[in-house]
Amino acid sequence: MDGLDALKGKYLDGIAGAGDEAALEELRVAALGKKGEISLKMRELGQMDPSARQAAGAALNRLKDEIDAALRARKAGLADAALDARLKAEWLDVTLPGRPRRQGTIHPVSQVTEEVTAIFADMGFAVAEGPQIEDDWHNFDALNIPPEHPARQEHDTFFMARAEGDTRPPHVLRTHTSPVQIRAMASQGAPIRVIAPGRVYRMDMDQTHTPMFHQVEGLAIDRDISMANLKWVLEEFCRSFFEVDSVELRFRASHFPFTEPSAEVDIRCSWEGGQLKIGEGDKWMEILGSGMVHPKVLAAAGVDPTEWQGFAFGMGIDRLAMLKYGIPDLRAFFESDLRWLRHYGFAALDMPTVAGGLSR
């Protein structure tokens, strides 16, 4: 077929000289489009005799392939040239320091809860959980708290509202995590060794009390457990938590309905320049309550008090955080102003999200 060499030269030269993709597209349409020169010549094949058609068809296909390959190559070359130009225009000095981004940290209450859990886990205590809305029996009766006890009055406890005629037993926002101990003993029996961290609720609000706060209670039941075991566990905990080599604890006789004997536990400390130091000095500070589990509590949970005995203790997680990190006001944990967090080294995320941010 005449004129193929001229077409080839025409389009290959045009492709080589195309300055952008728009020019390349015009050449493609002119050569290979429905009304392009090569496409029109392909239609002429039907008017040729078979032998001429075979030779012309092969030549046209070769020309079509060459032009298509040249178009692709030129398009890739133009893209590379554009990228090189963009890299030169948008050059970035990677030796410059990056822009600082503030990082969020875990809330002190959450951090202390994790620390406490890890320390007691090393001593063989599992974590037990229970409902925050508790029935009257688990929260009071099973713990040997009599009906006349002040904790069972409305000025101390949040009672759940109920409709007129509702005869179910009263329900409350749990005032301690002790009901978790009852549930754990009832479901697991003895021997048992658990801690129960979680939120608790009391109608109280001042510098060191809030209506909702966090507590962790511990329970260990076996055949030969004594106050000596309790003292060792608490000493080991205080050494690990306050990160000191030695601590001195003082047990003062006290009264709790659910333990007998009962003791408040003080720790030796000192205050120098407003800084608390644990394990030294001539002052004492109360940190928790403890005692041997009352036989009536064991019996209420289905554990035979003639065969089993054990100790229990309870402490405020918020208070532990205040002591360890020097935070003076418990109410600061729950206020929306985050400046106090940063002051004590607990920075919130700039833009909290569901996956990460300030833990409550």
Residues of each annotated binding site for Mg(2+): 260
Within 8 A by CB and 6+ apart from 81, the residues are none
Cβ pair 346, 339 in contact under 8 A: no
Phi, psi of 16 (to 5 degrees): -60, -30
> Which runs of E-coded beta strand occur in the chain?
126-127, 133-135, 171-173, 192-201, 212-222, 249-256, 259-272, 275-278, 283-293, 309-316
Query: Binding site membership: which residues?
Result: 260
Cα separation of 298 and 309, whole Å?
Answer: 8
* Strand 192-201 versus strand 212-222 pairing type: antiparallel
What is the number of alpha carbons within 13 Å of residue 350 lying toward its C-beta?
4
Structural tokens at position 230: 């309790």
Cα separation of 159 and 170, whole Å?
Answer: 7
Within 8 A by CB and 6+ apart from 254, the residues are 262, 263, 264, 289, 291
Structural tokens at position 85: 């130009």
The 3-state DSSP class for residue 209 equals: strand
Structural tokens at position 216: 């962790």
